[in-house]
Amino acid sequence: MAGDTALILVIAAFVGFLIGAVGVGGILLIPPLALLANLSIHQAAATALFTFIFTGLYGAWLFHNRGSIDWRVTGFVCAGAVVFSYLGARAGALASETLLAALIALVVVAAGLQIALQPAAPSRLLAAVRDKPVSLLALGAACGFGSGVTGAGGPLFSVPAMLVMGFAPLMAIGTGQVLQIAAAGAGSLGNLQNGSIDFSLAPWLVAAELAGVHVGARTAHRLNARVLRILVSTLCLLLGSAMLIQVVRG
């Protein structure tokens, strides 16, 4: 059991690194929690989502200090995410474990494909979205709902979407850090009502993740993010495919 706990913390630190470096990666924490910590998929998703409140707070502070957050854009995206993340968490609690596991697996695969195949966005799309609060609110609502349902941090949805729209990578990642706070906080309120958060494990996960976020955020501002993006894409595709195979096998 001690070995499993140590492995979980190593994985949590790596997930924190990915969150800090590219915004995407939080959902990778859910399968290890289910497999190694003997949590149900609902408990694993809810516990992971709760920890992302704290990674979001620290990540947002680090990116803000480096001037990588556009607070106007971020404010509208987060406003759209709050209510819908709560609704997503409530909806996820009603789904069967098999359905939820399949949904998470599909989201992981889709994220991996989107990151790998991300096209260059025309500048007119960026202008159309960035200057229209309704579009930013809709983006936040979609990302928040997906985050609440799956237990993934909001950046899993917002970062690829913003990159496709043409936002600068650091701005997309910085917005994702703040979105984590809004989406994870609102989603965790729903999960509190379900009693599905494992508070005995959460503090240890948070400590490991914050260490990873610190290193990841520094990496994002110093290195070319392309290699990290490829790494995340590969992990998402491999893990999501493995989860889908497991679901199919029953």
133 contacts: CB under 8 Å, gap ≥ 6 = 76
- Residue pair 32/228 in contact (Cβ under 8 Å)? The answer is no
pLDDT tens profile 147-158: 777 767 678 788
Tokens representing 187 are 């989603």
**Does the pLDDT value for residue 122 go beyond 60?**
no
Number of domains in the chain: 1
> What distance in Å separates the CA atoms of residue 12 and residue 26, rounded to the nearest whole number?
9
Print burial letters for 43-57: b (CB count within 10 Å at least 16), e (below 16).
Answer: bbbbbbbbbbbbbbb
**Does the pLDDT value for residue 128 go beyond 70?**
no
Secondary structure E strands in the chain: none
What pLDDT score was predicted for residue 56? Answer: 94
- Mean pLDDT (the chain) is 85
121 contacts: CB under 8 Å, gap ≥ 6 = 163, 164, 165, 166
Which residue range(s) make up the domain with 162? 2-249
Phi/psi-derived region of residue 132, left when phi > 0, alpha when psi is between -120 and 50, beta in every other case: beta
pLDDT tens profile 166-224: 788 888 899 999 998 988 888 888 888 878 899 999 999 999 999 999 999 999 888 77
